[in-house]
Structure 1
Amino acid sequence: MTRTPRSPRRALLAAAGAAALALPLLAAPTEAVGSAPPPPAPRTGFEISDGARWTTEAEETDFLAALDRGSPRLTVRTVATTAQGRPLRLATVGTGPTTVLLICSQHGDEPSGREACLTTLRDLAQARDHTTRAFLARTTVLVVPTANPDGREANTRGNSDGVDINRDHLALRTAEARALAALVRDRRPELIYDLHEYGATPHYYDKDLLTLWPRNLNTDPRVHDESHTLSEAYVRPAAGRAGHDSGIYGIWTDPVTGKPVKQVAGDGQERILRNTAGIKHAVGLLVETREDAREPDEHSDPALSHRRRVATQRAALQGAFAYLDEHGGRLLAATARARHTGFADRGPILLGGADNDPAEPTEILHDPPCAYRLTDAQYGEVGDELDLHGVVVRHEGDGVLVPLRQSQRALVALLLDPRAAYGITRGEPVERC
């Protein structure tokens, strides 16, 4: 049989991918002289098969249990149960003041982020080097390895009810999105990092990695700028150093000039996690790896494509962790200031638009009300969702008053204003409080 010659670029990527899959995320672990050797590191099904198949649910369960037993710095707990009875797990490693939340495989047919999250957890939990220990003293890493367990089992984008979880971060109709909202409310991460995959359009939209920050116009400018810095100065360059090309998610580019020619995705919808993150005053980033085979050798051997996809995710995570190391102080300051801005109750609220698409005049609340009033019946229908979002309410007479003077000021309007595109109920605007 005639074999297709491997291109120089593919040979480089194969070498870089093997290195990214083989090495710990931050630095090689070191052992003190005379110390006992560490126990054998657990391996995922993906690693055992050398990328020929994805890790099964049972293998993930065993892998996380082994990590939990073997490392005092890592804990695993179940935070929700899906409609089909599968656990939604949260793994925690590190004790630092800066918190990052990794959401892996919201779409069940996009598995590379999940594999990268699982091996990253192991590398952080079992590393013995000073660099990683210092990083974990400054950082708390929260990981949801499989954010859509039913979809992952069925290899479907949506959950078992066919709902796209990444369009449910406002209405919170799914058990999966509700669990993530509660996690964001209770742990208040400064950075939310969302791992996905995408289908390529050759020549115009076919990079190994695409990224995008919160485009919603209600994102605090400081949070928006930090999200942009994370993407453009850290995550994409880290992928490039590992041999992977990158671009902006949702933007087609001319293959000759490299200039944008068309936007096909990536607006400011508040119900998408990267935008919800920005509205809730966390730096957010969507990362997408190309799921299609790139060259003939990947078509003939899918394991090569699988390994490239996971290696790209891991390289991007290297960049995110470097950002946390170098920008931790700025990140904490930006999110803290953003979380207090709403209490001033000043300025317009935007019901549409994006950072590259100005809101229409009808989408601008130039002089927002001071609150929205809900009837008891309305509150009975949406009270749980408001609580999961961390929205503060005040019971008054036969109804509930939801003031805008609170940390999540813009979110209140996006949830309750009669003109909001994805609101959960139509509140009555109150002009005087």
Structure 2
Amino acid sequence: MTPRTPRRTRTRTRPRLRALALGALVTGLAAPLLASPAQAGAQSQPPPRTGFETSEGARWTTQPEERDFLAAVDRASARVSVDRLGSTGQGRPLRLVRIGAPAPADAQRVARGNSVLLICSQHGDEPSGREACLTTIRDLAYAKDAGTRRFLERTSVLVVPTANPDGRAAGTRGNADGVDINRDHIALTTAEGRATAALLRDYRPDTVYDLHEFGATVPYYVKDLLSLWPRNLNTDDRVHAEARTLSERYVRPAAGAAGFSTGIYGIWTDPVTGEPVKQVAGDGQERILRNTVGVKNSVGLLVETRIDPLTDAEKADPALNNRRRVDSQLAALKGAFGFAGERRGRIEPATTAARLTGYADRGPVYLGGADNEPPAEDEVIQNPPCGYRLTAGQYAEVKDELALHGVRAARRADGSALVTMRQSMRGLVPLLLDGRAEFHLAQARPADGC
């Protein structure tokens, strides 16, 4: 693969595994912290198990089983609160699980501290991340070790266990309408995409961790687990650096320490030399969640585990393959929690500074390119306008999407609106409203003298 000139110059660091006392996350269960007599009664009950666990990986957890599992954890532990974000096109619930010590009461409590959001199984035919998320919820709720308690006292964990319930029920990549919701984080045409946008707006998670699966291409694309940070050039440099650190110094080393091979998502490598051959995915387009969250000032990471059986034993027994897929997700998650626990003193300042930078309204905005692919000249707005003016008709058409994205607009008496660049979502505004942007919602008029 021909080397591409990156936008940023990075200091090369040697990957190493960081330790975090979250043993209950992977290896054990224990009694929860209790807050009421009702919960004390629940303590005598054994911890709930998923359908995947009870079948030893022979099948995936059903949605009724997920509902009952989460309800049982919610009843048993003061650390967990389960809410409903909304409903899918077929009426299935989109659930949000809030975890802390105790569970954070609302979005404001989460937004005021370090937070990690897990988005599980956006693609309905990629179920291993969902299983890892479900058991992680339980293990964090029931763990009694001091390390987990300290972690949850300082970090809110948010989990969307099934981001695409209709697709999971059908075993399809897309939702009930066949839409890939991981390509809908700009247009927000789906109930699932809109719920995620509202979640990002209201909770402002510092780190967003997106769990997927991929199909191998032998011999160039065969690692057990791949990861990738936001490549979109509108991601703040500080947030971008933390996202790369999450991938290269925590998630991949944690998976490697558990015996799984790792690589960078979207890059084929030579099986002999390990050198890159070509890039087949993983660009900087803003509508993909890992890029969207970067533009929205959160540390983002995409993690993909390999679906294909690796051995003759896995081919003969699908349960072995299923368990390996879930185990690799759990190993990588351990690294993600290590990152959140150890680097909170860097993560929070990075995301806070990124959110404030937009108010300075300085610097170019990028309509294309990536951190490993310089943008074309016509993909760079070197001197952005102070804002964009929407006609009354345009504003009526896109005002709901702007609000879901957290983009502020000043409506005028005639129904038109001005969206200034001087706001937290500065890098997102042209991607939504400039007619040159690939996925724009409206072709608004650049404003002068805002």
Match of 2:97 among 91, 94, 111: 91
Match of 1:320 among 313, 336, 343: 336
Structure 2 Cα separation of the partners of residues 292 and 27 of structure 1: 25
Match of 2:133 among 90, 108, 117: 117
Q: Deviations over 1:352-404 (max 9, x none)?
A: 00000011000000110101000111111110000000001111242100000
Match of 1:403 among 404, 416, 420: 420
Q: CA deviation at 1:77?
A: 1.0
1:250–1:264 contact (8 Å) kept in structure 2: yes
* 1:10-89 paired onto structure 2 within 5 Å: 24-25=24-25, 28=28, 39-89=45-95
RMSD of aligned C-alpha atoms? 1.5
Letter in 1 for 2:82: V
Structure 2 Cα separation of the partners of residues 103 and 400 of structure 1: 33
Structure 1 Cα separation of the partners of residues 442 and 129 of structure 2: 34
Match of 1:176 among 192, 198, 201: 192
Q: CA deviation at 1:406?
A: 0.5
* 1:336-347 paired onto structure 2 within 5 Å: 336-347=352-363
Structure 2 Cα separation of the partners of residues 215 and 122 of structure 1: 33
Does 2:171 match 1:155?
Answer: yes
Q: Which runs of 4+ in 1 moved over 2 A?
A: 26-32, 35-39
Does 2:390 match 1:374?
Answer: yes
Structure 2 Cα separation of the partners of residues 31 and 369 of structure 1: 57
Q: Deviations over 1:298-339 (max 9, x none)?
A: 000000000000000000000000001110110000000000
* 1:14-413 paired onto structure 2 within 5 Å: 24-25=24-25, 28=28, 39-94=45-100, 95=104, 97-398=113-414, 399-413=416-430
Structure 2 Cα separation of the partners of residues 332 and 38 of structure 1: 38
Q: CA deviation at 1:25?
A: 1.0
Q: What percentage of aligned pairs have identical amino acids?
A: 64
Structure 1 length as normaliser, TM-score?
Answer: 0.92
Which segments of 5 or more consecutive residues in structure 2 lack a partner in the other structure?
Answer: 1-22, 33-39, 105-109
Structure 2 Cα separation of the partners of residues 155 and 78 of structure 1: 22
Letter in 2 for 1:280: K
Does 2:435 match 1:418?
Answer: yes
Distance 1:151 1:29, change over 3 A: closer
Structure 2 Cα separation of the partners of residues 30 and 277 of structure 1: 34
Letter in 2 for 1:181: A
Letter in 1 for 2:255: A
1:231–1:285 contact (8 Å) kept in structure 2: yes
SS at match of 2:82: strand
Q: CA deviation at 1:343?
A: 0.4
Letter in 2 for 1:139: T
Q: Deviations over 1:23-49 (max 9, x none)?
A: 7316756679xx997530100000000
Structure 2 length as normaliser, TM-score?
Answer: 0.89
Tell me what 1:11 maps to: none
Structure 2 Cα separation of the partners of residues 182 and 245 of structure 1: 35
2:224–2:261 contact (8 Å) kept in structure 1: yes
Letter in 2 for 1:88: L
Q: CA deviation at 1:271?
A: 0.2
2:124–2:168 contact (8 Å) kept in structure 1: yes
Structure 2 Cα separation of the partners of residues 79 and 196 of structure 1: 21
1:27–1:132 contact (8 Å) kept in structure 2: no
* 1:3-14 paired onto structure 2 within 5 Å: none
Tell me what 1:428 maps to: 445
Letter in 1 for 2:68: D
Structure 2 Cα separation of the partners of residues 294 and 31 of structure 1: 36
Structure 2 Cα separation of the partners of residues 71 and 342 of structure 1: 40
Q: Which segment drifts farther, 413-422 or 90-99?
A: 90-99
2:24–2:145 contact (8 Å) kept in structure 1: no
Letter in 1 for 2:440: G
SS at match of 2:358: helix
1:100–1:193 contact (8 Å) kept in structure 2: yes
Q: CA deviation at 1:265?
A: 0.1
Q: CA deviation at 1:111?
A: 0.0
1:29–1:129 contact (8 Å) kept in structure 2: no
Q: Which segment drifts farther, 72-81 or 47-56?
A: 72-81
Distance 1:26 1:197, change over 3 A: closer
Letter in 1 for 2:227: T
Distance 1:111 1:62, change over 3 A: same
Letter in 2 for 1:86: R
2:28–2:139 contact (8 Å) kept in structure 1: no
Structure 2 Cα separation of the partners of residues 85 and 26 of structure 1: 33
Structure 2 Cα separation of the partners of residues 198 and 327 of structure 1: 29
Structure 1 Cα separation of the partners of residues 412 and 166 of structure 2: 41
Structure 1 Cα separation of the partners of residues 424 and 125 of structure 2: 35
Q: Deviations over 1:96-133 (max 9, x none)?
A: 72111100000000000000000000000111111111
2:255–2:332 contact (8 Å) kept in structure 1: yes
Letter in 2 for 1:320: A
SS at match of 2:231: coil
Structure 2 Cα separation of the partners of residues 286 and 30 of structure 1: 30
Which segments of 5 or more consecutive residues in structure 1 lack a partner in the other structure?
Answer: 1-22
2:129–2:211 contact (8 Å) kept in structure 1: yes
Q: CA deviation at 1:260?
A: 0.3
